[in-house]
Amino acid sequence: MRCVTFAFICLSLIAVSGPTFAQGDPAAAKLKNPVAPGAESVAAGKATYTKNCRFCHGTDAKGNGPMAPQGTHPSDLTDAKWDRGSSDGEIFTVIHDGAGPKFDMKGYKGKLSDTDIWNVVNYLRSIGTK
């Protein structure tokens, strides 16, 4: 009986303290987008997305890109479901830092400027579910 109780306690602790990606990242959620979502930002974001993201997420951002690693399912960036949080800051953080290891998305820190990433966030907002 002690073993069963101990196992139950351990599993409960793992469930409570495990990753919170589905709920988002509270620290990232506090980040505010410093780039106004105007036409210039959206156009720049689309250009950056086309150059860097479409290969896995698809031209239409539906998660159907031709070069996504086999066995992966890139996120549909146009729907209302955001597994790692839906605030601008959370989206920025996923693009900046990546989504892994389960999701196998490398971050763009050091490859794209913060402004470029914020422009992508604005572009995704412009094509996503309203």
Q: Is residue 15 part of a domain?
A: no
Q: Which long-range contacts (CB under 8 A, 24 or more apart) does 17-25 make?
A: 21/83, 21/84, 21/85, 21/99, 22/83, 22/84, 23/85, 24/82, 24/84, 24/85, 24/86, 24/87, 24/90, 25/84, 25/85, 25/90, 25/93
CATH, residue 26: 1.10.760.10
Q: Is residue 8 part of a domain?
A: no
84 lies in which domain range? 20-127
| pLDDT per position as a tens digit, 27-64 | 999 999 999 999 999 999 999 999 999 999 999 999 99
The pTM of this model reads: 0.80
Q: Is residue 64 part of a domain?
A: yes
**Number of domains forming the structure of the chain:** 1
| pLDDT per position as a tens digit, 80-98 | 888 888 999 999 999 999 9
